[in-house]
Amino acid sequence: MEASKVALLVVGQEILTGGVIDVNIAHTAKKFYDKGVILAKVEIVPDKIDDIAEAVKRLSTTYDYLITSGGIGPTHDDVTVEGVAKALGQQVIKHSYLETVLSRHYKGATLTAAQSRMAMVPAEAELLISTSPSDDYFLPQVYVKNIYLLPGLPKLYSHYLEHIMPVFTGVPLLHDEISIKGIETKLTAALNRSVHKFPQVRFGSYPSFEPGKPDSFMVKITFEAPNEASLADAKEFFLEQLSQDLSVIS
């Protein structure tokens, strides 16, 4: 069994200008890491149909799944649906079930043009319908092929991401780490040899220090592997490669 490889496409000019600080990327990364799903690529594009279409076409054919974040609301700059449809060569249509759900949510009133926009989907879109909808999460999850269209508002995004998590296959990794007193360049050779010998293990190197204190340099080395044996072997090999003048703290 292999872990799903998923790309995340964040749509929003406000992200690129710094007007809004995105939190959906970090939330997705943490959820995927905990389950063992691979967040393989993250891209951010402005609210432009052609930019969205190009990214969707490329990412959805490169990775197992693609999630889009943002651009599916009622305003003029919500054009993710159009971008996805263009990438797939599909028309944008009004989905009758979504129209019914919207009408029910707005108490049977005639939908405004803005409200009706939220019923527009790529022609071959399908719906994941919640068994317990609420006033906050009343719209079904829209997806087409391997592409899942999520809202950008963090509260809504996290809800709908949770709803689609069962779609993805996860292979959780085991984790271990050690801290070494010294500068990173002194252990680079040992790390490189270890990475070469254990391609199935993920190694991480994270230096830290306190300004003004030359003796405070530390490096945290992390090991991530699919099984205990690989994890233990990689750690043991790395420690054997270290220079004797380096102190392992933990």
Q: pLDDT tens for residues 109-119?
A: 788 999 999 99
Q: How many structural domains compose the chain?
A: 2
CA–CA dist 225, 227 (Å, integer): 6
Mark which of 134, 167, 200 sits at the end of a domain. Answer: 167
The answer to whether residues 67 and 179 belong to one domain is no
CA–CA dist 114, 116 (Å, integer): 5
Residues of the domain holding 239: 174-248
The answer to whether residues 244 and 178 belong to one domain is yes
Mark which of 140, 167, 194 sits at the end of a domain. Answer: 167
Backbone angles phi, psi at 121, to 5 degrees: -145, 160
Q: Among 130-139, 155-164, 166-175, 207-216, whose mean pLDDT is lowest?
A: 130-139
CATH number at residue 95: 3.40.980.10
Q: Which residue in 78, 19, 77, 12 sits closest to 45, CA to CA?
A: 12
pLDDT for residue 1 is more than 90? no
CATH number at residue 221: 3.30.70.1130
Query: Please, what is the angle between helix 80-88 and helix 49-62, to 10°?
Result: 50
Mean pLDDT of the chain: 94
- Contact call for residues 143 and 128 (beta carbons, < 8 A): yes
The answer to whether residues 97 and 143 belong to one domain is yes
The answer to whether residues 94 and 121 belong to one domain is yes
- Contact call for residues 191 and 182 (beta carbons, < 8 A): no
Mark which of 167, 198, 231 sits at the end of a domain. Answer: 167
> What integer pLDDT is reported at residue 133 of this predicted model?
66
| Per-residue pLDDT tens digits for 184-202 | 999 999 999 999 999 999 9
